[in-house]
Amino acid sequence: MTRALITNDDGIDAPGLHALARRARAAGLDVTVAAPAQQSSGASASIMAEDRDGRIAVERRTLVGLEDLPAFAVHGGPGLIALIAAHGAFGEPPEVVLSGVNHGANVGRAIIHSGTVGAALTGGLNRARAIAVSLDVGMRPVEFHWEVAAEAALNLLPQLLERPPGTVLNVNAPNSASHRGIRESTLAPFGIVQTTLSEREEHHIRLAVEDLPHAPEPGTDAAHLADGWVTVTGLESVTGVPLGLR
C-alpha cells in the first residue's frame, strides 16, 4: 500500500483533517495522521516548534472514528511535520502527503503564506508526491462539505502517482454538495481575501482580513472556484532564476 501522511494547519481536532483521513483510508492508503496540536494557519513552511530541551513534543492521539489509524499531535507547524515525517518520525517516510482539508480556500499567489500548502511543498521537497486541499467556506458558512473536498483530492491521486516524486498539487473545492467538475487553473495574482493594517499604535498594530473588492481574473483558480469548479494547480517549490550576472 502507498504510505500517506495526513496533515493540516487547522490542528489535530479539525473536521477537515478527519474527513481527509477517512477518504484516504477508504482509498486503500496506508495512513498516518500527524497534525499540529494547535491552530497553525498562516505558518507557511515554517519549521519552528515548541522546544522542550531541544526536542519536539509529540503526543499519541486516538481520533473518533479513526481509532485504527496512528495519529499524533505535534507541537509544531505543518511544514515541520512534513519534514520530520520525511526523516522517519512516524515510521517509514510517506510516499504521499495529503494536507487539509483546510478551513477556507487557498488560491492565488497568497498561498505562499498557507500552512496547508507549506506542508505539501515541504513534502514535495523531500521527494513525496503531495496534495494541498482546501474548502471555500466563505466568511459566514452555515454548513461544511468536507467530504466533497476530500473526495476531489483523492480522485486526483491516480494521476498524481503517475507523475514524478516531488509533484505538488493545490486543490480547492466549493463548499457545496456538488460541483461542476475538476478544472486545471492558473494562480490568481492575489488570494480571495486581503490583509490590511486596521490599527497602528505606538506599541502594537492590528491586522484585519477582508474580501477583495474586485472580480477575480478570468481563467484563474479564484475565478474557477467562484464559478463552482474544483480547481487544481501544479506547484513548484523553490526554484532558481538565472540572473545573467557578469
Please report the pLDDT score of residue 187 as a whole number: 96
Please report the pLDDT score of residue 182 as a whole number: 96
Please report the pLDDT score of residue 214 as a whole number: 63
- Residue extents of the structural domains in the chain: 3-187+218-235
pTM over 0.85: yes
Question: Residue type at 7?
Answer: T
Radius of gyration of the chain (CA): 18
CB distance 220 to 111 below 8 Å: no
Per-residue 3-state assignment (H helix, E strand, C coil) for 155-209: HCHHHHHCCCCCCEEEEEEECCCCCCCEEECECCCCCCEEEEEEEECCCCEEEEE
- Helix, strand, coil proportions of the chain in percent (round to 5)? 25, 30, 45
C-alpha cell belonging to residue 57? 513534543
Residues in the chain: 246
Please report the pLDDT score of residue 47 as a whole number: 81
Distances (CA, A) of 175 to 76, 79, 146, 155, 210: 28, 26, 8, 17, 19
Helix H or strand E segment including 151 = helix 146-155
Please report the pLDDT score of residue 241 as a whole number: 87
Please report the pLDDT score of residue 207 as a whole number: 61
**pLDDT in tens for each of the 246 residues of the chain?**
999 999 999 999 999 999 999 999 999 999 999 999 998 888 888 887 776 677 899 999 999 999 999 999 999 999 999 999 999 999 999 999 999 999 999 999 999 999 999 999 999 999 999 999 999 998 888 899 999 999 999 999 999 999 999 999 999 999 999 999 999 999 998 766 566 666 677 666 766 655 555 678 899 999 999 999 999 999 998 888 899 998
Please report the pLDDT score of residue 195 as a whole number: 61
CA atoms within 13 A on the CB side of 75: 9
Q: Which residues make beta-bridge pairs with 205?
A: 200
Question: Which CATH entry fits the domain spanning 3-187+218-235: 3.40.1210.10, 3.90.1150.10, 3.40.50.620, 3.40.50.150?
Answer: 3.40.1210.10
